[in-house]
Amino acid sequence: MLGSLDARIPAGSLDSKWTDHKFSMRLVNPNNKRRFDVIVVGSGLAGAAAAASLGELGYRVKVLTYHDSPRRAHSIAAQGGINAAKNYQNDGDSVYRLFYDTIKGGDYRAREANVYRLAEVSVDIIDQATAQGVPFAREYGGLLDNRSFGGAQVSRTFYARGQTGQQLLLGAYSALMRQVTAGTVELHTRSEMLELVMHDGRAVGVVTRDLITGEITPHSAHAVVLATGGYGNVYFLSTNAKMCNVTAAWRAHRQGALFANPCYTQIHPTCIPASDDFQSKLTLMSESLRNDGRIWVPLAHDDGRAPHEIPDADRDYFLERKYPAFGNLVPRDVASRNAKTVVDEGRGVGPLRNGVYLDFSGAMARDGEAVIRAKYGNLFDMYERITGEDPHRVPMRIYPATHYTMGGLWVDYELMSNVPGLFVLGEANFSDHGANRLGASALMQGLADGYFILPYTIGNYLSDFLGDPALGTSEPVFADAEQAVADEMNRWLSIGGTRSVDHYHRELGKLVWDYIGMARNKTGLEKALSEIPALREEYHRNVRVLGSADTLNQSLEKAGRVADLFELAELMARDALTREESCGGHFREEHQTTDGEAMRDDENFTHVAAWEWNGEGTPQTRHREELEFDNVELTQRSYK
């Protein structure tokens, strides 16, 4: 049984904690590093950066990824940019300001010490990536360019056109491949982690399934690093890639790792709405469009007229009406909730009445079509490719979609979970974004964790085991885990039900979207807690997985992932129900100001909720980590 959670935050002033801690942590000398085995699961920004850096240091690293190449990881799809407190623009940025903006943006539900460290190392990330050849945007003088992003009043975002995530990932991937060639990193592609192996209360390895041959393989190590991304696909429709899932983190949770703040999910306001029932994913359109587009819906319910036939008097520019100061540029969560309100009222637009207009006709009349085209041409093309409509002629239709998950496995200051030897990086952990992530901060966190934090902190853990070989894979704990995986595969194949895995995933997604989406309330969450388990029970009884376990079998791969999403969804509902306040991406309808804004309850909920697995069928136990704010004052956000 756990007491109250201790994040092991070093003493001292905010700006000296990391420096002092780096000095006080124990080191592993270069000769001894090659005696330690480290497993890194996942090859996105956090995983590739960590594996490359550990390999360079001399550790024996094994990278496990279910992709066919490390370069496929979903970090690649991030568009906007990466924040760093370089202050190259001389506009008043600083480590402290980036720290402050991130804490405030997270609605005061993140750890001060972690966030400050993130801001500190942000500057090193830009140097590292540039040295690797990441082609960041540049000014004519040859120096790096910056732009501004939501939630900040300075220009601190570095970018590479609309493909910043791709370029940063390719940088980390190239560093990783260099280590693979050097022989310090062993790369296992198409290898999916399905069990975390524990011995004496420590993480000692994992079991993987080869997605091509079905071979089940044990891997032992002195430490296991999970960098396996977020769980946005619990909604089925999200901006996540199709394969994104919670399985690695969830299997670790089932072995005792605490899952923190699962109800903190982020909805992005400007995505292309679903066009039919077979929609497989949602595509994000850059938030920058809101600078020139005006968002509106018809005043009348079920107005069937084409947009150009609706005169201004019959339109409701609802953000401009409700938020005269910020208008169409209110933060993501506010814009999203208001779009939901008007669509729920029956004023949605498009064939399925599931979107709102984002209209550029005014901007084109004001600035000329050429100017708007120069600014947003690539986005307009992308929109037209997907919808078949030209935004120069017809207003875009947009609707919010799940984009990022702030919750994840609980980690301490050293990014180690409560399970000794299990480290968690990037979106898979919970630590730095509180209840809401600012734009251009996900890339920053993944690379900070991988390049500049884990390589230091892992030594502090490993130094205790000098001279101890990793546990042999012939130990019974490995055989048990291998058997568990084999049994699971056989179980899916033997159900012989009638509906596909995707069918149930889609149904689950609808429940999660309806009850644990942009706005939550007690009644809905209680419904979720009865309907999700009922659907899960049907899933386990009636899912149809054809084929065999010893071939490439995509239904079989998905079956286990969806089963884990079911369990996660239930925990999300429980977490959202327990958190009787609104904060960041978690909006409880019962807790709002008279203006309809999120209302925190700092007295009772200034803490992290971290849930402990108690076995199947028994609700998890909620633990708390109290958040201390010694440096910033907690305030209410307002955008009027």
Partner 1 sequence: MSAEINLTLKVWRQAGPNAEGRFVTYEANGISTDASFLEMLDIVNERLIEAGEEPIVFESDCREGICGTCGLMINGQAHGPQKGTATCQLHMRSFSDGDHIVIEPWRATSFPVLRDLAVDRRAMDAIIGAGGYISVNTGAAADANLTPVPKETADTAFDAAACIGCGACVAACPNSAAQLFTAAKVQHLNLLPQGQAERWARTEAMVETMEAFFGSCTNHGECEEACPKEIPIDFIAWTNRDYIKAKVKNRKLVG
CB of 123 to partner 1, least distance (A): 8
Q: Does 378 bind partner 1 (CB under 8 A)?
A: no
3-state helix, strand, coil in the chain (%, to 5): 40, 15, 40
CB of 557 to partner 1, least distance (A): 11
Please choose, out of 11-19, 126-134, 523-531, 596-604, the segment that lies near partner 1 by the rule CB under 8 A. 126-134
> CA–CA distance from 55 to each of 98, 182, 630 (Å)?
30, 9, 37
Q: Which of 42, 47, 70, 355 binds partner 1 (CB under 8 A)?
A: 70
Q: Which of 16, 280, 635, 636 binds partner 1 (CB under 8 A)?
A: 280
Tell me which residues in 321-360 interact with partner 1 (CB under 8 A).
351
Residue-by-residue DSSP string for 422-465: EEE-GGGB-SSSTTSPPTT-HHHHHHIIIIIIHHHHHHHHHGGG
Tell me which residues in 230-269 interact with partner 1 (CB under 8 A).
241-243
Q: Does 128 bind partner 1 (CB under 8 A)?
A: yes
CB of 67 to partner 1, least distance (A): 7
Q: Does 212 bind partner 1 (CB under 8 A)?
A: yes
48 membership: H or E segment, kind and range: helix 45-57
* DSSP SS3 for 136: coil
Q: Which of 4, 24, 31, 181 binds partner 1 (CB under 8 A)?
A: 181
Q: Which of 30, 92, 142, 476 binds partner 1 (CB under 8 A)?
A: 142
Residue closer to partner 1 (CB basis): 267 or 525 = 267
Q: Does 133 bind partner 1 (CB under 8 A)?
A: yes
Q: Does 12 bind partner 1 (CB under 8 A)?
A: no
User: b/e per residue, 539-574, with b = 16+ CB within 10 A?
Assistant: bbeebbbeeebeeebebbbbbbbbbbbbbbbbbbbb
Q: Does 56 bind partner 1 (CB under 8 A)?
A: yes
CB of 249 to partner 1, least distance (A): 18
Q: Does 304 bind partner 1 (CB under 8 A)?
A: no
Q: Does 386 bind partner 1 (CB under 8 A)?
A: yes
Q: Which of 388, 467, 476, 617 binds partner 1 (CB under 8 A)?
A: 388
Please choose, out of 34-42, 171-179, 322-330, 631-639, the segment that lies near partner 1 by the rule CB under 8 A. 171-179
Residue closer to partner 1 (CB basis): 72 or 347 = 72
Distance (Å, whole) CA 518 – CA 287: 18
The HSE-up count of residue 555 (CA atoms within 13 Å, CB side) is: 18
Q: Which of 148, 155, 255, 283 binds partner 1 (CB under 8 A)?
A: 283
Tell me which residues in 475-514 interact with partner 1 (CB under 8 A).
498-500, 502-503
Residue 632 · residue 108 · CB < 8 Å: yes
Q: Does 23 bind partner 1 (CB under 8 A)?
A: no
Q: Does 411 bind partner 1 (CB under 8 A)?
A: no
Residue closer to partner 1 (CB basis): 160 or 409 = 160
Q: Does 312 bind partner 1 (CB under 8 A)?
A: no
Distance (Å, whole) CA 422 – CA 225: 6
Q: Does 27 bind partner 1 (CB under 8 A)?
A: no
Distance (Å, whole) CA 438 – CA 433: 8
Active site residues: 332
Q: How many residues bind partner 1 (CB under 8 A)?
A: 81
* DSSP SS3 for 32: helix
Distance (Å, whole) CA 608 – CA 5: 9
Distance (Å, whole) CA 312 – CA 402: 31
Distance (Å, whole) CA 180 – CA 551: 27
* DSSP SS3 for 35: coil
* DSSP SS3 for 51: helix
**Start-to-end C-alpha separation, the chain:** 46
Please choose, out of 262-270, 328-336, 386-394, 477-485, the segment that lies near partner 1 by the rule CB under 8 A. 386-394
Q: What is the DSSP letter of 144?
A: B
CB of 135 to partner 1, least distance (A): 4
Tell me which residues in 538-557 interact with partner 1 (CB under 8 A).
544, 546-547, 551-552, 554-555
